Structure 1
Amino acid sequence: MLHLTGFGHLGTNDPARVLRQDTLLAGGLLLLDAAVALTLHTGGRRPDSLGWSLLVAAHLPTVFRRRAPLASFLGLVACVAPYHALGFDHSAPLFVSMTALFTVAVTGSPLRSLVVGGGVVGIMLTVKFGQGTAEGAQALRITGWIVAFIVLGVYVRVHGQYLASVVERAERAERTREEEARRRVAEERLRIARDLHDLLAHSITLIGVQTSVAAHVLATDPDRLDRTAVAQALDDISETCRTARGELRSTLEVLRDTERGDGRGPLPGLDGVPDLVAAARSAGTRVEVSVAVGADGVPTAVGAAAYRIVQEALTNAVRHAGPGASVRVELETDGGALRVRVTDDGIGSAGGPPGFGLVGMRERARSVGGTVETGTGAEGGFAVLAVLPLRTVVPDRRPDPASVHDAGTVRDRRHPSGTGLVVVAEAGEGAVR
Structure 2
Amino acid sequence: MHARQVSTSAPSRTGENRVFPGLFACSSGSVVIIWVLMASTVGATGPRPHRPRVARGSTSRWTPAPTCGAYDGRVRGSLGTERVESWQRSRPWLADGLLAVALGVLLIPSGVGVLASAPWPLPARAALIAGLVALHILVVFRRVRPRATFVAGSAVLAAFVCIPDATGPQVTQTYGAPVPVVLLPSSIIFCVLLYSVAAHRGSTDSYRALAVAAVGGLLVVVRLWNAEAAAQLPLSMGLWRAMLIPVVAAFVVVPWQLGRLRQVRARYLEAMADRALADERRRIAGELHDVVSHSLAVMVSQAEGARMLADRKPGVVVPALDRIATTGQEAMHGMRALLDTLDPDARDRAPQPTPADLDALLDRARRAGLDIHWDGIDSTATDADIPAAPGLVAYRVVQESVTNVLKHAGPQTSVTVVVRREPAELVVEVADDGGPILDVTPGRGLLGMRERVEAVGGRLTYGRHTFRRPHQGGDVSGFAVRAHIPTGGVAS
Name the residue aligned to 1:241: 328
1:303 CA displacement: 1.6
> Among 236, 241, 250, which residue is 2:337 paired with?
250
Output the amino acid matched with 2:328. Answer: C
Are 1:273 and 2:354 an aligned pair?
A: no
| TM-score when normalising by structure 1 | 0.58
Structure 1 Cα separation of the partners of residues 311 and 437 of structure 2: 24
1:311 CA displacement: 0.6
Within 5 A, what are the aligned runs for 1:92-131?
97=179, 99-102=181-184, 106=188, 119-120=226-227
1:67 CA displacement: 3.8
Within 5 A, what are the aligned runs for 1:302-381?
302-334=390-422, 336-347=424-435, 355-379=443-467, 380-381=477-478
Structure 2 Cα separation of the partners of residues 70 and 242 of structure 1: 77
**C-alpha RMSD over aligned residues:** 5.3
Name the residue aligned to 2:319: 232
Within 5 A, what are the aligned runs for 1:10-409?
29-33=114-118, 67=155, 72-73=160-161, 75-77=163-165, 80=167, 90-91=172-173, 97=179, 99-102=181-184, 106=188, 119-120=226-227, 142-143=232-233, 175-221=267-313, 225-226=314-315, 229-254=316-341, 257=343, 259-260=344-345, 265-290=350-375, 291-293=377-379, 294-334=382-422, 336-347=424-435, 355-379=443-467, 380-391=477-488
Sort the Cα spacing of 1:260 and 1:323 in 2 relative to 1 into closer, same or farther, 3 A: closer
Output the amino acid matched with 1:235. Answer: D
Structure number having the greater helix percentage: 2
1:308 CA displacement: 1.1
Structure 1 Cα separation of the partners of residues 177 and 365 of structure 2: 93
User: Do the aligned residues in 1 keep the contact of 2:414 with 2:433 (CA within 8 Å)?
Assistant: yes
1:91 CA displacement: 2.4
User: Do the aligned residues in 1 keep the contact of 2:378 with 2:419 (CA within 8 Å)?
Assistant: yes
Q: Percent identity?
A: 27
1:156 CA displacement: 12
Name the residue aligned to 1:405: none
1:382 CA displacement: 1.5
**Structure 1, unaligned runs of 5 or more:** 10-20, 35-51, 125-141, 393-433
User: Do the aligned residues in 1 keep the contact of 2:164 with 2:180 (CA within 8 Å)?
Assistant: no
Name the residue aligned to 2:17: none
| TM-score when normalising by structure 2 | 0.52
Output the amino acid matched with 2:448. Answer: G
Q: Deviations over 1:320-363 (max 9, x none)?
A: 33453221110113462221100112236889998422222222
Sort the Cα spacing of 1:169 and 1:200 in 2 relative to 1 into closer, same or farther, 3 A: same
Q: What SS is found at the alignment partner of 1:347?
A: coil
Structure 1 Cα separation of the partners of residues 265 and 230 of structure 2: 49
Q: What SS is found at the alignment partner of 1:369?
A: coil
- The higher radius of gyration belongs to 1
Sort the Cα spacing of 1:174 and 1:104 in 2 relative to 1 into closer, same or farther, 3 A: closer
Structure 2 Cα separation of the partners of residues 282 and 89 of structure 1: 101
Name the residue aligned to 2:14: none
User: Do the aligned residues in 1 keep the contact of 2:437 with 2:478 (CA within 8 Å)?
Assistant: no
Structure 2 Cα separation of the partners of residues 248 and 306 of structure 1: 20
Sort the Cα spacing of 1:94 and 1:32 in 2 relative to 1 into closer, same or farther, 3 A: farther
Sort the Cα spacing of 1:292 and 1:112 in 2 relative to 1 into closer, same or farther, 3 A: farther
Q: What SS is found at the alignment partner of 2:310?
A: helix
1:365 CA displacement: 1.7
Sort the Cα spacing of 1:292 and 1:28 in 2 relative to 1 into closer, same or farther, 3 A: same
- Total equivalences in the alignment: 327
Structure 1 Cα separation of the partners of residues 345 and 393 of structure 2: 23
1:100 CA displacement: 3.6
Sort the Cα spacing of 1:337 and 1:159 in 2 relative to 1 into closer, same or farther, 3 A: farther
Structure 1 Cα separation of the partners of residues 331 and 171 of structure 2: 96
Output the amino acid matched with 1:292. Answer: D
Structure 1 Cα separation of the partners of residues 355 and 459 of structure 2: 18
Name the residue aligned to 1:18: none
